[in-house]
């Protein structure tokens, strides 16, 4: 299936590793150019070079902290200099570990800025570029934890739930400008972060630990791959998903226990 993405510019935050890198590589595989963002310039530049080498498309690295207004503005300006964005994937984020009783205000604000305000600022700033190019698509990468929280990360759960609602509100505004907005809520995706956590907890038996987590939480009894999730995300951002507007999709192997 031709996803009709050749020559489009996709902006992906958190694009140097894990899910973000997988999404960027999948866009490039489909012929799109990508603007990838992360804070670690060395890792980001290496990822961008690999994308260009592997797929022959343009990969623009923009090292910036999207939890700040200045970082978001750097991405918006870089996209404009490249001709304007067609697609935006708000992916930058990280997990948390705390209790509500003990977490300081500063930690709440850090996660709010990273998970929510980055999406607000970038979608607002990139929308004009998309509209000038005839429309586009935006995708919020939230989490299953937005609707089915894990007990040890209340800040992550709360900010991802806010991102989910933001995507819905944004969609109603943006569709009038021919920009589709959707949200994806991944479940267990086998990222480097999950693998590192497993190694820290179980040492040489880390893969057995991941299997135990999958057995407990996912009906499919395995982690999803980054590539499986990326394929879904890129399809949602393509013209082939043109009637998908304001929706939230769980890509979770049966982890969600409600309807």
152, 156, 209, 249: the active-site residue: 156
Helix (H) and strand (E) counts for the chain?
9, 7
Active site residue 152: no
DSSP 35-102: EEEES-HHHHHHHHHHHHHHH-S-EEEEE--TTSHHHHHHHHHHHHHTT--SEEEE---------TTT
Q: What gap in Å lies between CA 239 and CA 20, rounded to an integer?
A: 20
User: Could you give phi then psi for residue 62, rounded to 5 degrees?
Assistant: -130, 100
Query: Which residues carry out catalysis?
Result: 156
């Amino acid at each position: 299936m031709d996803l009709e993405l050749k020559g489009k510019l996709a902006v992906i935050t958190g694009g140097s590793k894990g899910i973000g890198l997988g999404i960027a590589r999948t866009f490039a595989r489909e012929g799109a150019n990508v603007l990838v963002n992360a804070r670690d310039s060395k890792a980001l530049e290496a990822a961008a070079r690999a994308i260009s080498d592997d797929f022959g498309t343009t990969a623009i690295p923009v090292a910036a902290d999207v939890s700040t207004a200045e970082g978001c503005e750097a991405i918006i300006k870089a996209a404009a200099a490249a001709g304007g964005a067609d697609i935006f994937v708000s992916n930058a984020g990280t997990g948390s570990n705390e209790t509500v009783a003990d977490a300081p205000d500063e930690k709440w604000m850090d996660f709010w800025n990273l998970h929510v305000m980055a999406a607000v600022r970038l979608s607002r700033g990139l929308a004009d570029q998309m509209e000038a190019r005839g429309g586009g698509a935006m995708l919020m990468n939230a989490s299953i934890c937005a609707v089915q929280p894990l007990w040890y990360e209340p800040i992550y759960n709360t900010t991802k739930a806010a991102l989910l609602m933001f995507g819905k509100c944004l969609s109603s505004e943006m569709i009038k400008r021919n920009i589709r907005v959707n949200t994806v809520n991944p479940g267990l995706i086998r990222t480097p972060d999950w693998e590192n956590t497993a190694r820290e907890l179980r040492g040489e038996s880390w893969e057995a630990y991941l299997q135990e987590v999958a057995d407990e939480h996912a009906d499919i009894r395995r982690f999803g791959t980054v590539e499986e999730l990326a394929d879904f995300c890129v399809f949602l951002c393509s013209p082939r998903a043109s009637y998908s507007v304001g929706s939230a999709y769980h890509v979770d192997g049966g982890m969600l226990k409600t309807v």
